Amino acid sequence: MIVLIIIGYSLLALFELIPFYHQKHWREFWVNAGFGFCSFTIAVLLSFDVNIPSPSEPIKNMVMFVIRKLV
Amino acid sequence: MRKEQISDKEAMFVLIIYYIGSSFILGVGGEAKNDAWISVILGVVMAVPVILIYARLLSLFPEKDLFDILDWAFGKWIGKLFALVYIWYSFHLGALVIRNFGEFTNTIAIPETPMIVPMLCIGIICTVAVTSGIEVIGRISAAVLPILIIIVSTVSLMAIPKMYFHFLKPILGNGFLPIIKGGFSVFSFPFAESVLLMGVFSSLKTNKSPYRVYLLGTVIAGLLILMITFRNITVLGSTYSKFYFPAHIAVSMVSLGDFLQRIELAVAVDFVFGVFIKTSICLLVTCKGIAKLLRLNDYRSIVIQVALLMVYFSYTLYDSIMEMAGWAFKVYAYYAFPFQVIFPIILFVTVEIKVRRGKKKLQTGVGTDG
Amino acid sequence: MIRKKNILDQNKNNTVEEDHILVKSLEANIEMFKNLFRDDEMLIIRKFQNKYLPTAKCCLIYLAGMVNNDLLNENVIQPILQNNLSEEIQTNHLLEELQYKIIVSNNVEMVNRFDELVATVISGDTILLLEGNDNALMISSKGWPSRSIDEPESAKVVRGPREGFTESIVTNLTLIRRKINTPDLKLKFREIGERTHTKVCICYLEGLALEEILAELEKRLDAIKIDAILDSGYIQELIRDAPFSPYETVGYSERPDVIAGKLLEGRIAVVVDGSPFVLTVPFVLAESFQSDEDYYNNFIFASFNRLLRMVGVFVATGLPAVYLAIVTFHQEMLPTPLLISISSARQGVPFPSAFALFFMLLVFDIIREAATRMPTPIGQAVNIVGTLVLGQAIVEAKIVSAPVIIITAISGIMKLLSPTALGSVIVLRLFFLLLASVLGIYGYIFGMILATLHLMNVRSFGVPFMLGLSSVKNHNGQDIWIRSPWWSMTLRPKIIGARNLVRHSMKKTPGSKPK
Amino acid sequence: MKKFLLLTIFLFINVMILAGCWNYKEIEKLTIVAGVAIDKGENNPFRVTVEIVQISGGKETKATSKLLTMEGKTIFDAVRNAISLTGKKLYWSHTKLVIISKDIAENGILRVIDWYNRDAETRSDVYLLISKEKTAREILEGKGVTDEIKSFEIADTLKNEKSLSKAPTTELWKFINDLESPGISNVVPTVNISTSENISTPQVMGLAIFKKATLIGFLNGRESKSVLFVKDELKGGLILDGVQVNNSQPVSLEIFKSKTKMEPIVKANHNIEFNVNINTTVSLEEIPTSMNLTDEIKLKKLTSRTEEVIKKRVGDCIKKVQSKYGVDIFGFGENLRENNPRIWNQIGNNWDDKFKELKVNVKVKVKIKGSGIFSQSIKMGD
């Protein structure tokens, strides 16, 4: 699993990042690298079954809180 | 790069598929039980004023999308803040839709397949579509929508022998409150979600077309959803609101003779196409927003990564389908309200004041920064 | 990189230098030719003299087999031999005299450049050298054996003209011109191929063909740098859009009436010497489903046939995948009796359904390929082996189940309904099957979406490949899903025929109504 | 484009490696369940018997039935225990019916059918039946007449029930639907074993009455027909046992179509009466006596006699249900709720009590439409 993820992301880097580097589109390069790093991290975490906190619970609490305040 | 442009018809079809995509299978207005069809009508009626605001904003700024308008109305910093808010909303909505699809495949269609697989597949297809651009999305919608409508109406016609029209009665048996609640939930899902299409419809042809597209699209989609809701209620009765995927169950009851039965896959086809278009739009808006925010040359450079993030995000969103359903019925309508109504109204008021104050500024002012 | 360049440098051929010209001595000139065509014994050098003027030594040079012998004998050699030349002219005007008064041929030119003369000989004409002259006459005498015009094997029709293109570009252009008798038909020639010097002709109707498309086509043709063009297939692949797509984006036909029809819709044809297949651009997907016979038959019948073809392609690509999805993923879709009979057919079959389907589809294509390449008797044998041995025995031996054979056969026959789409059908079918074996019907739907997205992205010379397929009512769609009757097709397709939309102005349905 | 091509190829390989054994099931590996019978177990609360379709290959398709019994603490437990017997999971999508034994039904069947309705593998449009025999298993142990697989045969019987109308057809989801809606109680067809010529075959006849989810009684085939008359679910069948005219031999009348209208009449004090208007079109199918069919008076007599018979039977049936069981299986309450929700909200809470004293006026209208392909009855020559 983890091997597949690494292969996948290196392929992505090969086809996405390297062209930006060659064309000297630095902004694109860094943004893409940043997003890529994020998603890579999450993918690795997911593959190790790490529980990533979901935002839906806090949103729910917040919405409920606001509603209760209003009503 | 050539300016992308979609015809009014294509835009309308995109809008209709965007509306019916996930609502066809999730069912709408469950709060109102067997009066859900009244809720649908109510929801459309409630949506019309909001939609007129969206259309007005778009027609004031031809060739500008949501993020440009935000920038122009609020200036650089607050505009960016609002842009961030809408990026979040479209990202989140896209993730929700993908998750719906994932739960569908996981509970009904292919339960032994890990949920992430179909979700990733949708992600990939959407990446391809978004990279191809709104033109292609529009064309594929124009090609597919008639087929979808044919499938849905055929299936609904075939369901007629299984319909018990007395399930519709008593009309207003539970009073008005559930209907209004249902109407509100229909309003927020799916109709007012069309706020995101403001990020896409910058490619429309004329000034008038936003009105035409939005109103006609909403009405047609409303009729279709009404038809589906009607079918689901008459087939399933008051248990309608108990299912996660009522349309699927309703269609699974349909049989034509001994041979043509268990045709629920036909509904699944609709669902996949709908989810595909809706997610593509969300992804497109997210990418466009990020590209505007970070001043990238082209949104296409980040599509893959954003799509992957969206899929992962939707994967971690809920723990179970119960949580998803609870969220969808209880929280979503309130959560989405600011994005769908409050912020657009603020934007609308600001824009109107600014426009009234200086008509001349409109031409020069738009898009100076960004 | 460097090695490739070296090879390219080496690749200079020993052709004639351009500024080489003839000399006055006949023998020397002949020697030059002999030298150039050293080991070519087809070069014929015929020397002769005039009866009355022995000093008028002539020499004809041509390639055996490329010329019309009767024409040379009767119209060139005989007049020169027998006419009384001596009294009429001086020697130094003898060549003009021959050109204007003696030689009976429709095209005679005077040339002195050696390379041109060589090209003339090679292309099948004859040159006449005269002692004491540093000019020569080029006499048009082309006449090699060529195939007669007959009905093309690849596109037979029940109704419609029974003529097909041949390998000769002149014949082909004649065939086209005989269909379209208007000076608007323009023919632009060019030669492509550094070694073959193949004649390629762009053929279009002025005032109908879009100039942008024409310019684009010329640009793409000019960009071709290749040593040889042996068939129009070379050109087709070198000028096409979406080079990686399984779909063809350049059309071709072997029938003059088809080409004429396309020209009249505003398309541009490319005729290549040596190939009976004429290319047309732009090409859209809907054309794969059109057949020339559609336009000669009753329009209702033709529309029915066309819908059949479309359904055929759809079923051929999708059926194996859908079958696999239903049988291995969504068994609840099957009616119970069918479930039982399929299940019974699969009892004792060791291989999984997915594998069996892949295998059988490949086998079908192998049989098809083998049968096409073989001479007819052997081809029939292959077919018998295919049907009996593989079809019957493989089921009895329980290697694959009978339903798989049925599915393969249906899909195999359906795909033959529209031969132009064959390649894409075969590729897509396997692609869908692969997806369906992983995700069931959802895999198939994903595949369909991907394929549609791809089709939407493809353009052929700027024209959307899916042109017209999503519309049924306006004149774009009149000739796509159905073939509308001629009296109602007053306008040409919108994008391709944009320069002159009106096809005809017949508004009414034909026939008289009783009053 | 190339980028996507490679990405797709990569994903393919990815998926191919992982996919191995997700949902891919070969069709011949399925253990197809045709029907389920649920009994009380000896040691466990439930004993589940499934009828499995055994398919053998070869030139001819042969499907034979096989019974499999397992016990468990819950239904799902029992079902999963089947894996230890068959080695494979059972495949439920083609199941036609669920038979529940009397014992279980008398203690409430909700816990039995909830799994069936909830699980995604099963389909909720199966037929629900109550076994009149001691155990439900016995039904599946019988022998099929036309179909090797008993469950399929019973399902066919239920499907063709519309030209017999001696039992209702109840699909599982409809049962649950009616369970949830107030003002109607469920009826479920009953099945018993009938023995003729030493072959015991399942026979669907009569119905079982439920109060909520508990079995409280049975009605026989003739009474079932009356129930169907009132519920407007009658599609065909005979007006059985013949209708006699002038003490002659009985005449068979086949129901062509029948339409029943139920309307509540609200009187003062929330007193409610119901009008049941039955409109039936019949045709003469069997006339053992010599009778002149063109004789209008005789025909009229026949008509009015038929009307009386129907009216009496329906009325008797309603009375019996009211007095003996006291549950509204006809859906009077539902009708009231749908048409007059205001009244219903006031009196709906103790509808069962109200139902016991409900006055029902039955009106029957019969129209004789045809007499087969003969215009005359057979006249014996002297």
Residue D355: predicted pLDDT: 85
Mark whether C277 and C317 lie in a shared domain: no
> Is D280 in contact with D366 (CB distance < 8 Å)?
yes
In chain D, where are the structural domains located? 28-219, 221-382
**How many CB atoms within 10 Å of residue C287?**
25
**Chain B environment of D89 (Cβ under 8 Å):** none
Q: Is residue C3 part of a domain?
A: no
Question: Residue C296 and residue C160: Cα distance in Å, rounded?
Answer: 7
Residue C319: predicted pLDDT: 93
Of residues C373 and C89, more confidence is placed in C373
Question: Residue D77 and residue D67: Cα distance in Å, rounded?
Answer: 18
- CB-based contact C331 D25, cutoff 8 Å: yes
Residue B287: predicted pLDDT: 94
Residue B362 has pLDDT above 70, yes or no: no
List, in order, residues 6 or more apart from C208 with CB less than 8 Å away: C184, C263, C264, C265, C266, C492, C497, C499, C500
Share of chain B above pLDDT 90, in %: 28
> Is C493 in contact with C475 (CB distance < 8 Å)?
yes
Average pLDDT over residues B194-215: 84
Question: Residue D157 and residue D151: Cα distance in Å, rounded?
Answer: 10
**Chain A environment of B290 (Cβ under 8 Å):** 31
Nearest of D343, D334, D263, D97 to residue B238 by alpha carbon: D334
For residue C136, the SS3 value is strand
> How many angstroms from the chain centroid is the CA of residue C161?
18
Average pLDDT over residues D22-50: 85
Asked whether B and D share 3 or more beta-carbon pairs under 8 angstroms, the answer is yes
Amino acid at B63: E
> Is B116 in contact with B311 (CB distance < 8 Å)?
yes
Residue A34: closest CA among chain B residues belongs to which residue? B305
| Inter-CA distances, D321 with B148, D187, D317, D327, D340, Å | 49, 12, 6, 7, 24
- For residue B150, give its domain range: 8-255+280-365
**Chain B environment of D181 (Cβ under 8 Å):** 237-238
Asked whether A and C share 3 or more beta-carbon pairs under 8 angstroms, the answer is no
Amino acid at C133: N
> Is C421 in contact with B245 (CB distance < 8 Å)?
no
Nearest of B253, D94, D153 to residue C343 by alpha carbon: D94
Residue C8 has pLDDT above 60, yes or no: no
Mark whether C230 and C181 lie in a shared domain: yes
> Subunits that touch chain B (at least 3 Cβ pairs < 8 angstroms)?
A, C, D
Q: Is residue C7 part of a domain?
A: no
Question: Counting Cβ atoms within 10 Å, is residue B247 exposed (0-12), middle (13-18) or buried (19+)?
Answer: buried
Average pLDDT over residues D69-98: 85
> How many angstroms from the chain centroid is the CA of residue D68?
25
Bridging pattern class, strands C459-460 and C278-281: unpaired
**Chain B environment of D124 (Cβ under 8 Å):** 249
> Is D233 in contact with D187 (CB distance < 8 Å)?
no
Which C-chain residues 456-515 have CB contacts (< 8 A) with chain D?
none
Poorest-pLDDT segment among C271-285, C319-333, C463-477, D295-309: C463-477
Q: For an interface test with D, which of C241, C323, C340 has the most D Cβ atoms less than 10 Å from its Cβ?
A: C340
Nearest of C108, C121, C120, C124 to residue C68 by alpha carbon: C124
Poorest-pLDDT segment among C224-238, D142-156, D236-250, D310-324: D236-250
Q: For an interface test with D, which of B113, B125, B165, B167 has the most D Cβ atoms less than 10 Å from its Cβ?
A: B113
- CB-based contact A4 D7, cutoff 8 Å: no
Q: For an interface test with B, which of D2, D4, D16, D184 has the most B Cβ atoms less than 10 Å from its Cβ?
A: D4
Average pLDDT value over all residues in chain B: 85
> Is C339 in contact with D91 (CB distance < 8 Å)?
no
Query: D152 to chain C, minimum CA–CA distance in Å?
Result: 10
Residue C19: predicted pLDDT: 63
Residue C1: predicted pLDDT: 44
Residue C290 has pLDDT above 90, yes or no: no
Mark whether C243 and C94 lie in a shared domain: no
> CB distance from C234 to chain D under 8 Å?
no
For residue C256, the SS3 value is helix
Residue C2 has pLDDT above 60, yes or no: no
Residue C507 has pLDDT above 80, yes or no: no
Residue B369 has pLDDT above 50, yes or no: no
Residue D331: closest CA among chain B residues belongs to which residue? B166
In the β-sheet with C136-139, what is the strand arrangement from edge to edge?
C43-49, C57-63, C126-130, C136-139, C108-111
- CB-based contact D11 B120, cutoff 8 Å: yes
C282: left (phi over 0), alpha (psi -120 to 50) or beta: beta
For residue C218, the cross-strand partners are: none
- CB-based contact B334 A66, cutoff 8 Å: yes
Tokens describing residue B31? 């709060």
For residue C316, the SS3 value is helix
**Chain C environment of B128 (Cβ under 8 Å):** 450, 453
> Residue B1 — very low, low, confident or very high, per pLDDT cuts 50/70/90?
very low
> Subunits that touch chain A (at least 3 Cβ pairs < 8 angstroms)?
B, D
- Candidates A28, A42, A64; nearest CB to B301: A28
Nearest of B113, B90, B223, D173 to residue C443 by alpha carbon: B113
Query: D94 to chain C, minimum CA–CA distance in Å?
Result: 7
Residue D25: predicted pLDDT: 82
Mark whether C184 and C303 lie in a shared domain: no
Tokens describing residue C210? 């879009």
Question: Residue C55 and residue C403: Cα distance in Å, rounded?
Answer: 87
- CB-based contact D17 A8, cutoff 8 Å: no
**Chain B environment of C439 (Cβ under 8 Å):** 110, 113, 117-118, 121
CATH code: domain of residue B20 = 1.20.1740.10
Query: B150 to chain C, minimum CA–CA distance in Å?
Result: 14
Residue C475: predicted pLDDT: 66
**For the segment C165-203, what is each residue's pLDDT rounded down to a tens digit?**
998 888 899 999 999 988 889 999 998 988 888 999 999
> Is C152 in contact with C139 (CB distance < 8 Å)?
no
Q: For an interface test with B, which of A23, A27, A31 has the most B Cβ atoms less than 10 Å from its Cβ?
A: A31
**For the segment D281-306, what is each residue's pLDDT rounded down to a tens digit?**
888 777 766 666 667 777 788 888 88
List, in order, residues 6 or more apart from C369 with CB less than 8 Å away: none
Poorest-pLDDT segment among A29-33, B366-370, C244-248, D220-224: B366-370
> Residue C217 — very low, low, confident or very high, per pLDDT cuts 50/70/90?
very high
**Chain D environment of A11 (Cβ under 8 Å):** 6-7, 10
- For residue C433, give its domain range: 299-464
Which A-chain residues 3-62 have CB contacts (< 8 A) with chain B?
12, 16, 20, 25, 27-28, 31-32, 35-36, 38-39, 42-43, 46, 52-56, 59-60
- Count CB pairs under 8 A between chains C and D: 74
In chain A, where are the structural domains located? 2-70
Residue D11 has pLDDT above 70, yes or no: no
Average pLDDT over residues B14-28: 86
Tokens describing residue C249? 């984006």
Helices (H), C350-421: 353-373, 376-384, 394-396, 402-415
Question: Residue B20 and residue B224: Cα distance in Å, rounded?
Answer: 8
Residue D202 has pLDDT above 50, yes or no: yes
**Chain B environment of D341 (Cβ under 8 Å):** 170, 172-173
Q: Is residue B12 part of a domain?
A: yes
- CB-based contact D10 A11, cutoff 8 Å: yes
C289: left (phi over 0), alpha (psi -120 to 50) or beta: alpha
Say which CATH superfamily domain D221-382 falls into: Nutrient germinant receptor protein C, domain 3 (3.30.300.210)
Q: Is residue B266 part of a domain?
A: no
Average pLDDT over residues B26-42: 84
Residue D18: predicted pLDDT: 60
> Residue B94 — very low, low, confident or very high, per pLDDT cuts 50/70/90?
very high
**For the segment D367-376, what is each residue's pLDDT rounded down to a tens digit?**
887 766 666 6
Which B-chain residues 147-206 have CB contacts (< 8 A) with chain D?
166, 169-170, 172-173
Share of chain C above pLDDT 90, in %: 19
- CB-based contact A35 B294, cutoff 8 Å: no
**Chain C environment of D1 (Cβ under 8 Å):** 244
Beta strands in C156-297 (DSSP E): 185-192, 198-205, 251-253, 268-272, 278-281
List, in order, residues 6 or more apart from C507 with CB less than 8 Å away: C490
As for how many domains chain C has, the answer is: 3
Residue D92: predicted pLDDT: 87
**Chain B environment of A55 (Cβ under 8 Å):** 92, 317
Bridging pattern class, strands C185-192 and C198-205: antiparallel
Residue keyed to tokens 């009866």:
C51
For residue C128, the cross-strand partners are: C60, C137
3-state secondary structure chain D: CHHHHHHHHHHHHHHHHHHCCCCCCCHHHCEEEEEEEEEECCCCCEEEEEEEEEEECCCCCEEEEEEEEEEECCHHHHHHHHHHHHCCCEECCCCCEEEECHHHHHCCCHHHHHHHHHCCCCCCCCEEEEECCCCCHHHHHCCCCCCCCHHHHHHHHHHHHHHCCCCCCCEHHHHHHHHHCCCCCCEEEEEEEEEECCEEEEEEEEEEEEECCEEEEEECHHHHHHHHHHHCCCCCCEEEEEECCCCCCCEEEEEEEEEEEEEEEECHHHCEEEEEEEEEEEEEEECCCCCCCCCHHHHHHHHHHHHHHHHHHHHHHHHHHHHHHCCCCCCHHHHHHHHCHHHHHHHHHHHHHHHHCCEEEEEEEEEEEEECECCCCCCCCC
- CB-based contact D125 B252, cutoff 8 Å: yes
Asked whether B and C share 3 or more beta-carbon pairs under 8 angstroms, the answer is yes
**For the segment C105-143, what is each residue's pLDDT rounded down to a tens digit?**
888 888 888 888 888 888 888 888 888 888 888 888 888
Residue C321 has pLDDT above 90, yes or no: yes
> How many angstroms from the chain centroid is the CA of residue C295?
21
**Chain A environment of B95 (Cβ under 8 Å):** none
Residue B365: predicted pLDDT: 45
- CB-based contact A16 D3, cutoff 8 Å: yes
Residue A16: closest CA among chain B residues belongs to which residue? B301
Residue C417: predicted pLDDT: 85
**For the segment B158-187, what is each residue's pLDDT rounded down to a tens digit?**
888 888 888 887 777 777 888 888 898 889
**For the segment D339-351, what is each residue's pLDDT rounded down to a tens digit?**
888 888 888 788 8
- CB-based contact D173 B124, cutoff 8 Å: no
Nearest of B273, B89, B100, B117 to residue B199 by alpha carbon: B89
Tokens describing residue D189? 């067809």
List, in order, residues 6 or more apart from D84 with CB less than 8 Å away: D70
Average pLDDT value over all residues in chain C: 84
* ipTM score of complex: 0.88
As for how many domains chain B has, the answer is: 1
Q: For an interface test with B, which of C327, C336, C340, C445 has the most B Cβ atoms less than 10 Å from its Cβ?
A: C445
> Residue B284 — very low, low, confident or very high, per pLDDT cuts 50/70/90?
very high
